[in-house]
Every structure is written in C-alpha cells, then in structure tokens.
C-alpha cells in the first residue's frame, strides 16, 4: 500500500489529503497497456489532420456495425425520450427507478443473452443485476464473493484491466495460471492444480477461478470438455467459478462458443453446485456500446444476486439507456440481423488484417472470436526476454506509430506476443497500419542482414588474420603475403 498524499495547511501543519486506497499502486494502470493509450492521446492519428500520428490499435472496441444501430435508431425515434415521438415517456423514465432495473430492460437483456447463445439456454430476468459496464460488474461480483487477501486463480495471459477491476478496491489477489505458447496457450487442468497447490502451501485462501470466454487477449473459445474439467475442479474444491463472457457475440468462425450456462443446463451427469457459478456479461463488445456502461452480473446463487443488486446502486445504468435498449433488444428481427452481419464483418476484417500480417511474415495465434489478434513478434526480438519485448514495443510506439499492447502487460509467460485490435478503425486506417508494419518489418530484416553480414565479415577477418599469422610464421611459404584489407562493416 502506498502512503497517504499530504499537503500543508495555513498553520504550516501537514494534513492528510488522500487515503491509502486512493494512493496505492493496485490500480494497475502503471503498465505499458495503459501507457500506449497515453501515447495515442498525445499524438492521435487522423487521416487528414495528423496522418503521421499514432494509430490506436490497443482499444478493444467493435465499431464495425455501428451503422446498423444508427439505422435502427432513425427508424425508431420513439425509443428515445429525447425526441418528439418519445417525449411522452420522459417524465416516467426520468423519475427515480429502483436498482432492480426497468422490467422491460432486464427482460430484454435476459432474452438477448439467450439469443447470442443460440437459444440453448434461457436466462431468468430476476437474476439480471445491472452494473456500470463489465468493470463494475466484475468488481461487484468480487465484493460479494471474497474478502481482502483472498485470491482468485486466472489463466494467463489475461486482460490487464483485471488488475484494476478485480483488485484495486477489493484487496483480493490474482494468481496467474501459466498458459504457454508451446500448446497454443490452452488451459490445462495440471496447470490449474499446480497454481492452486502453490496457493495452499503459501496459506493463501483461494475463493475461485476466473475465466474469460471467449478469451481476451487470445481470441479463442473454450471447448466443452475443458469447461467441464474446470467446472469439476472448482466444484470439488468448493470454490467459485466466474465466467466473463462479454465477447460471446463476437465469435465469427468455428468452433462455436459454449457458455458455462449450457454446461449447467446440460449438467452432463457431473452434478455440480450451481450456487458457485456466476456470469459477467456486457453490451460493450457484443453490441459495440462501451459508452453506455451496461454491465451485467448473472448469478445462479440467490444470495449473490440479492447482495449484488444492493451494491449495484453505486453503478446503475441510466433509465434513459435502459429504456432505449429495452426497445432495441426486444426487436427480434433487428437483433438477428445485427448478430449475423456483425459476425460477417468481424470475420472479413480478421481475414484482411491477419492476411496482411502473413504477407510480411508475421503470424498470429489461430483465433475465431474477439476484436483483436494475438500477434507473434518473437522473431523480431533481440532475445526472448520481457526487457527485449518492452524495447520492441517502445520502438513500435515511437517509430511505427502504432499502439499495440505487449504480452507482458497481459501477464503472458512467454515474451514476444502482442495484442493488436482491428475492429475499432476503418478500412483505410487498417491499410495504413499494415503498410507501416511492412515498412518496419522490412527495416528489421535489413538490420538483421547487416548484423549477419557484420558477423560474417568479422569471421572472415579472423580467418584472414590466422592465415597472415601462419604466413608470418612460415617465411618460406609459397603463399604471398598480402597487406591487411579494410573491411567495410554494415
């Protein structure tokens, strides 16, 4: 914990200004992940006004289908209380609403959650708890489940914001489960058991396991067998399983997304305790509405629902937003069209971007979800260390003018991986970003060639020196002595 910030009052006495909580370093924002955002803010790319600025590829936003939403809003002006058509609802909606949420809103959310899971499971509106985005939902859930000092297991690499969202104000610990590139970062039950055992040996109380499915930053989905194995593990150890499923509707290719709710619904004869299962959902990624701050806690535990609902009073979704979204998400035809078209556009952009990277020799982890790629830049590292990774990242920020996020900020156990977002920029900006990457890679290859040539020249010079030494040692040799040649080193 950091020390309190102090100031001087009129009597020249030191006074405490900020609390230990306000000044500690657990906010997690002292990492390259957030530093990249600052670099963008200081020099933002603009096609006309600042074409040499930093392109924002560190922001996981889905802006590819915003036009579909805009068209729906124009067709449905009554959904807003700020239009002539919708003004009749203004007084009702603008008045105080309790923290259970508008009934039509929670019903629409529950219906939407079922639809993006292909109707394989139904959700109860009475279990829908509002929060200020997934950030608020995650923190609310941790407040309900754990005390300061308790810990949650989380597969790494994981979203850097978890260090802030889950730890800063709650005081809990996150214990990374190492997932490595050697098996495509898949979660193994052996790694889970190993991390859990180490916590036990250190007398750390483990309260649960946190999964992101689809995964941020990998862009992959967990298969049914893996989910069942992890669920069986948490159930056997009587710890919670929290599934962050905020990217559920961004799956654009096979294999299909499997929700933990489907596993519970099917049960598959494993007989788990549903009271230990909780889901975090959101409209930030699925619909591209991060600014609406719509986060959802959905728990199968009645006590957690009741507690989270009381806590939600600190981060409610505005009734104006609830009113608009209730109407939009209740429009089955629109929702179906949006989900299908959004998946098509994500697939197309993913193929365009990864294809462009492949042309310059950069590979990505095979993925089928999310709004980003897990990019492998290990061949560009001077050495496979975090320091070398950060040095490369700084070069990309400064010289290439791209804000991408280094794997170390995601607690990745292997150096050289970067998350790069592709759905928050337009087609022309994507082309510019790919062109910059190609120029950078070509320059790195040229540098590598020069280093190799230098090593070759040095090797040749050593050989020549050896020959000369032999000549000097053998004055009767028939090989004529040559003066040392000047080697040009590139």
- Range 29-46 average pLDDT: 86
pLDDT confidence band for 335 (50 / 70 / 90): very high
pLDDT confidence band for 487 (50 / 70 / 90): very low
| pLDDT score recorded for residue 32 | 78
Q: Does 477 score more than 50 pLDDT?
A: no
Reference 201, options 171, 231, 175; nearest CA is: 175
Reference 157, options 92, 205, 227, 220; nearest CA is: 220
Catalytic choice (142, 285, 362, 437): 285
pLDDT confidence band for 450 (50 / 70 / 90): low
More confidently predicted of 486 and 270 = 270
Laid out side by side, the sheet with 363-364 consists of: 363-364, 372-376, 417-421, 405-406
- Range 219-242 average pLDDT: 96
| pLDDT score recorded for residue 279 | 97
155: left (phi over 0), alpha (psi -120 to 50) or beta: beta
Q: Does 171 score more than 70 pLDDT?
A: yes
Looking at every residue in the chain, the average pLDDT score rounds to 86
Percent of the chain with pLDDT over 90: 69
Q: Does 261 score more than 70 pLDDT?
A: yes
- Range 358-362 average pLDDT: 95
Q: Does 467 score more than 50 pLDDT?
A: no
| pLDDT score recorded for residue 111 | 96
Annotated active-site residue 74? The verdict is no
Instruction: Report d(CA 114, CA 108) in Å as an integer.
Output: 10
Q: Does 453 score more than 60 pLDDT?
A: no
- Range 226-239 average pLDDT: 96
pLDDT confidence band for 268 (50 / 70 / 90): low
Annotated active-site residue 285? The verdict is yes
Catalytic choice (35, 165, 244, 414): 244
Range scoring the smallest mean pLDDT among 6-20, 24-38, 40-54, 376-390? 6-20
Catalytic choice (40, 159, 196, 298): 159
| pLDDT score recorded for residue 463 | 34
Q: Does 173 score more than 90 pLDDT?
A: yes
- Range 50-54 average pLDDT: 94
Global pTM reads: 0.86
pLDDT confidence band for 471 (50 / 70 / 90): very low
- Range 355-371 average pLDDT: 96
Range scoring the smallest mean pLDDT among 3-17, 157-171, 208-222? 3-17
Catalytic choice (81, 116, 210, 246): 246
The model's pLDDT over 410-434, given as tens digits with 9 standing for 90+, comes to 999 999 999 999 999 999 999 999 9
Q: Does 482 score more than 50 pLDDT?
A: no
More confidently predicted of 201 and 453 = 201
- Range 381-394 average pLDDT: 94
């Amino acid at each position: 914990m950091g020390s309190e910030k102090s100031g001087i009052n009129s009597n020249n006495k030191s006074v405490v200004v900020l609390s230990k909580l306000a000044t500690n370093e657990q906010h997690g924002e002292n990492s390259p992940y957030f530093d990249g955002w600052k670099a963008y803010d200081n020099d933002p790319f603009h096609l006309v006004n600042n074409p040499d600025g930093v392109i924002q590829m560190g922001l996981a936003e889905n802006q590819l289908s915003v036009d579909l939403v805009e068209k729906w809003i124009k067709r449905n002006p009554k959904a807003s209380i700020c239009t002539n058509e919708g003004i009749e609802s203004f007084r009702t909606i603008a008045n105080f609403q309790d923290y259970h949420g508008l009934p039509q809103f929670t019903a629409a959310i529950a219906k939407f959650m079922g639809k993006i899971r292909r109707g394989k499971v139904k959700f109860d509106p009475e279990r829908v708890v509002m929060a200020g985005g997934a950030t608020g939902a995650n923190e609310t859930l941790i407040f309900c489940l754990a005390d300061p000092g308790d810990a949650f297991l989380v597969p790494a690499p994981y979203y850097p914001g978890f260090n802030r969202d889950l730890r800063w104000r709650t005081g809990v610990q996150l214990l990374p489960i190492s997932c490595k590139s050697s098996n495509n970062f898949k979660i193994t039950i052996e790694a889970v058991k190993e991390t859990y055992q180490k916590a036990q040996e250190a007398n750390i109380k483990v309260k649960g396991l946190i999964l992101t499915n689809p995964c941020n930053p990998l862009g992959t989905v967990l298969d049914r067998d893996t989910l069942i194995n992890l669920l069986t593990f948490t159930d056997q150890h009587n710890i919670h399983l929290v599934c962050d499923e905020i990217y559920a509707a961004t799956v654009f290719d096979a294999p299909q997304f499997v929700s933990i709710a489907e596993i519970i619904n099917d049960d598959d004869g494993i007989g788990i305790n549903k009271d230990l299962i909780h889901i975090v959902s959101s409209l930030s990624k699925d619909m591209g509405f991060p600014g609406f701050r719509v986060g959802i806690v959905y728990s199968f535990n009645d006590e957690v629902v009741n507690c989270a609902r009381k806590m939600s009073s600190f981060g409610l979704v505005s009734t104006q937003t609830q009113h608009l979204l209730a109407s939009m998400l209740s429009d089955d035809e629109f929702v179906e069209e949006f989900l299908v078209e959004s998946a098509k556009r994500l697939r197309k952009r993913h193929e365009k971007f990864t294809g462009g990277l492949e042309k310059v020799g950069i590979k990505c982890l095979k993925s089928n979800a999310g709004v980003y790629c897990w990019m492998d830049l290990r061949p560009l590292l001077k050495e496979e260390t975090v320091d070398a990774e950060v040095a490369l990242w700084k070069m990309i920020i400064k010289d290439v003018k791209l804000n991408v996020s280094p794997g170390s900020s995601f607690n990745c156990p292997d150096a050289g991986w970067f998350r790069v977002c592709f759905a928050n920029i337009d087609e022309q900006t994507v082309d510019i970003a790919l062109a910059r990457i190609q120029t950078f890679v070509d320059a790195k290859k040229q540098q590598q060639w020069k280093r190799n040539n230098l090593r070759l020249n040095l090797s040749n010079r050593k050989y020549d020196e050896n020959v000369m030494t032999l000549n000097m040692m053998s004055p009767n040799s028939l090989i004529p002595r040559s003066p040392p040649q000047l080697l040009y080193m590139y």
